[in-house]
Amino acid sequence: MKPHLRFKNFHGSWQKSTLYSITSIKSSDRKASDYEKYYDSGEYPVFDVKGEIANVKDYDSDKPYIAIVKDGSVGKIFLCPEKSSVISTINYLYNKENIDILFLYHLIAHQISWEKYIVGTSIPHIYYKDYSLEQVYVPKYNEQKKIGQFFKELDSY
């Protein structure tokens, strides 16, 4: 696929891929209730669906990741910094080598329709095994970096 609109000096087709081939997933076993009495016991943030809920002495992820809500408010995503953690209703979605995290975040935020992956009626769930099959188009790494940075700056306005 060749996009109609490009940044200057970028050429070539974008490669068709699946989320599975450009990401990896990790689950959390942290529970929000574990942090009620430890809110400021450390320097590393723990996030839930609404944002930061605590600062603790340890962390689960040593690199930036996309937090993706898998139970309840399914499909809500947010970008999290290195040296942080999420609670168990959220998964860590990591970019693989040669995939820019900012590009991946915006690709997922603007291209995936989560409704088709929801299972359950009382408490909706989404599963990586299902949405990881989503097909996406990915440019070369330098163009990903440019696109990711562009959307980051656009979001800051």
Question: What integer pLDDT is reported at residue 63 of this predicted model?
Answer: 97
pLDDT of residue 40: 75
CB neighbour class for 55 (10 Å; exposed up to 12, middle 13-18, buried from 19): middle
Q: How far apart are CA 39 and CA 135, in angstroms?
A: 40
Identify the pLDDT of residue 37. Answer: 65
pLDDT of 24: 97
Token pair in block for residue 155: 């979001």
Count Cβ neighbours within 10 Å for each residue of 92-125 and write b for 16 or more, e otherwise.
bbbbeeebbbbbbbbbbbeebebeebeeeeeebe
- At residue 39, the pLDDT reads 66
Instruction: Enter the pTM of the model.
Output: 0.91
* Mean pLDDT (10-residue bins), the chain, 157 residues: 80 93 96 74 91 92 97 94 96 96 95 93 94 96 93 82
Domains of the chain, start order: 15-156 (3.90.220.20)
Q: Residue 38 has what pLDDT?
A: 61
Contact 52, 46 (CB under 8 A): yes
